[in-house]
Amino acid sequence: GKKVFINKKGIAELMRNQHVKVLLVSPLKSEAFRENQAMIDEFVQAGIKIMMMPTAEEWDGKSDLTYNHLHEIEIEDLLPRDKIEVDMNAIGAMLRGKRVLITGAAGSIGSEMVRQVAVYKPAELTLIDQAETPMHSVRLTMARQFADVKNETIVGSITDKAFMEKIFEDHRPEYVFHAAAYKHVPMMEDNPAMAVRNNVNGTRVIADLAVKYGTKKFVMISTDKAVNPTNVMGCSKRICEIYCQSLNQAIVDGRVKGVTQFVTTRFGNVLGSNGSVIPIFKELIRKGGPLTVTHPDIIRYFMLIPEACKLVLEAGTMGKGGEIFVFDMGKPVKIVDLARRMISLSGAKNVEIKFTGLRDGEKLYEELLSTKENTIPTHNPKIMVAKVREYDYDEAKKNEDELLQISYTHDDMAIVKKMKEIVPEFKSQVSKYQVLDK
């Protein structure tokens, strides 16, 4: 006996005439709802609040559904994305009862890796990060949510070789997830010495110790910015990939004694990560604007942090060593559209959008990680293997030694010149280093 309204153009206005204030979206229909961007805009403009109901996993079904279970729609709920399926059994079989070490454990990706790995009941979790306050939060999370998982939260830098060695000696991790890195493009453009010391040398320290102490698998988290890099940060991560891949090959060839399999995962921007566009826009809207966008045509691929971490774990189970896995990031999003939609959702009035010009080293369009030409498919349609040029281990090691030495001069031009020699496809954009490409 209840009237059912058919979803068509003008529905929002009709509902407003019925004095509707809130629209509840069923978890069964949230995918279809998200796909219908025009309808969402209609509801937002009509001033109707949109509340998302929890998924079956979030709501245990044992308790009655209450207001606390609902959440007001956020921009993350509206971005087009496909459901990601992973082989939970394979991941569980790999991690259950094992000793696992995670670097960068307090970061946005690292801390989600901690939560996802802890679910599989490893024998021990060793967590490392140099950020003390966020690391304290990780410690509290472990105590609250995973009190039954033995863990140690350690504040320290991956570049501190003696300290890292002691950790490997004490904990003997069987699996290493390496998420520690400096990641902000403009910051690393201004501080190439630190990109080299933290990203390049830090990765080498952890990789070498993994081999020395018999780690079974080392999973490195890289970035889409390592593909044909246009900035120092992306190039530093490409050099990390080169080292891990060449070390893996040297082990396979018997030139380096060890059992470790090195696997790399590359993906694009993750939503809501520290310092990423959405938290920045939220803060700017709160202050009344303006929202700053670098260029009207700039696009980015986005993935939710939990989804990216699930794919990292699955790639880890899939990898036999030496692969660089790339993730299908779905549909690209125009940053200016994202800004407009966030302003609408917030209900804020008179918030302007200003275009500020591309920043140093920034690309207009991120390279598509996966095309038929540059990847090979796997059994998970969201994960592909990248075809990349391979390097000899002795050459990679020599290059890293020289690069590290140059980093201590703090001569930006000399450091980046060496990086370009190691990665010839590194062509700077909107940067003082463009003169080195001539």
Q: What's the CA gap between 387 and 323, in Å, rounded?
A: 9
Three-class DSSP category at 349: coil
Nearest to 73 by CA among 132, 143, 5, 25: 25
Of residues 236, 133, 110, 329, the one with CA closest to residue 125 = 110
Eight-class DSSP state of 359: P
**Separation CA 8–CA 5 (nearest Å):** 9
**For 132-164, what is the HEC assignment?**
HHHHHHHHHHHHHHCCCCCEEEEECCCCCHHHH
Distance (Å, whole) CA 176 – CA 162: 18
For residue 233, give Cα distances in angstroms to 224, 226, 331, 424: 11, 8, 24, 15
372: exposed, middle or buried (Cβ count in 10 Å: 0-12, 13-18, 19+)? exposed
Distance, CA of 413 to CA of 435 (rounded, Å): 9
Q: Strand order of the sheet with strand 375-377? A: 151-155, 124-129, 99-103, 175-178, 217-221, 261-266, 324-327, 383-386, 375-377
Distance of alpha carbon 298 from alpha carbon 269, whole angstroms? 13
Using the Cα atoms of residue 4, residue 6, residue 12 and residue 13 in order, give the sign of their dihedral.
negative
**What residues does 90 pair with on adjacent strands?**
none
Catalytic residues: 225
299 vs 1: CA distance, rounded Å: 47
Spatial separation of the C-alpha atoms in residues 104 and 28, rounded to whole Å: 36
Maximal CA-CA distance, the chain:
79
Closest CA to 273 of 158, 183, 342, 157: 183
Q: Residue 173: which region, alpha, beta or left (left: phi > 0; alpha: psi -120 to 50)?
A: beta
